[in-house]
Amino acid sequence: MAFTASKDATGVYLIRVEGQLIVGNRQELKTAVQEALEHAERRFVIDFSRTGYIDSSGLGALVSISKKVREQGGELRLSGLNEDLRSLFELTKLDTLFAISDTAERALGGFPA
Amino acid sequence: MTAPGPASLRLCLRRRRVPSASGATVQVSLRVPSDVGCIEEVVDLLMRHCCSDSWLCRRRRFNLRVAVAEALANAIVAGNREDKTKWVEVQAELRGDQIRVEVTDQGPGFDPTLVAAPIDPEELDRPNGRGLFLIRHLVDDVRFNPQGNSICMTLLRH
């Protein structure tokens, strides 16, 4: 997995995940979000439009990240899940836990001004 | 046949075609080190040798990939505790209209009936425990050996 992080004009922290989010690399993403939280970032979008696969450990990492962000008074949105990945979120009912948008742009626009 | 690859990976693959009443049966055996970094390559190998694009539709190929990856992760992390001196044995068999994959670790085993459903509202924000749930919902049949250190998954072609 590789990921890129950037901040949009409104200050939302956007992380794009490339490749796979799996048991062998989930910690990298958790660390990236944790470091951003420590730098006072509170609004996050994690985009999966270039992600082929998320395993159950990756799903669990997203649950942990979401919890940490909420505990800090922040908000996390997900975007860009393909049909297969979305089916995993639906199967595990995690689609009820996360705000999920079709595209990163829509997710970024979903935060209150 | 031994799969080429980095020496450190030490994947051991044996593939054979066995004549049977229902047509040629492909059997693949893999001996996998207890390293989560091997999972992707093992899944790729199995799919390549047992399950061609034409044999299984895209969605069910995805289901099989997820189920095998989750079983391997469970075996390596929960079963063998990532102990590099232990191995995970994988046996796959393509027979007629079904593929069967058995994943066995060297751990003490567990009782699969005690694993809570991760979709209960109070369990939703748990960071783990979704692997077995996914397996059960993505393949057609799941069985464990009495010790609980071996899972056998069957996916029908239909």
CATH code, domain with B151: 3.30.565.10
Please tell me the distance in Å from B28's CA to the nearest CA on chain A: 24
What span, in angstroms and rounded, lies between the C-alpha atoms of A92 and B134? 8
> CA B47 → CA A71, B12, B93, B109, distances in Å?
41, 15, 11, 26
Residue B5 within a domain: no
pLDDT at B56: 86
Residue range B95-144, pLDDT digits in tens: 888 999 999 999 999 999 988 888 988 888 888 889 999 999 999 999 99
Residues of chain A with C-beta less than 8 angstroms from the C-beta of B73: 22-23, 55-57
pLDDT at B10: 53
Hey, how many other C-beta atoms are within 10 angstroms of the C-beta on B155?
22
- The kind and range of the H/E element at B136 are helix B131-138
Residue B3 within a domain: no
> In chain A, pLDDT over 90 holds for what percent of residues?
87
* Full residue range of the structural domain in which residue B17 is found: 12-156
What's the mean pLDDT in A24-44? 94
Q: How confident is the model at residue A47 (pLDDT cuts 50, 70, 90)?
A: very high
Counted domains in chain B: 1
What span, in angstroms and rounded, lies between the C-alpha atoms of A22 and A55? 5
Residue B59 within a domain: yes
Residue B82 within a domain: yes
pLDDT at B26: 83
Fold of the CATH domain A2-109: Transcription Regulator spoIIAA (3.30.750)
B125 and A60 within 8 Å at the Cβ level: the answer is no
- The tally of CA atoms less than 13 A away on the side-chain side of residue B147 is 9
What's the mean pLDDT in A84-110? 95
A57 and B39 within 8 Å at the Cβ level: the answer is no
Q: Does A55 touch chain B (CB under 8 A)?
A: yes
pLDDT at B18: 65
Is pLDDT of B9 > 50?
Answer: no
Residue B141 within a domain: yes
Residue B48 within a domain: yes
Residues of chain A with C-beta less than 8 angstroms from the C-beta of B125: 63, 66-67, 97
Select the more confidently predicted residue: B11 or B140.
B140
Mutate to test the interface with A, among B38, B123, B125, B126 (most CBs of A within 10 A): B125
Is pLDDT of B52 > 80?
Answer: no
Q: Does B55 touch chain A (CB under 8 A)?
A: no
B62 and A84 within 8 Å at the Cβ level: the answer is yes
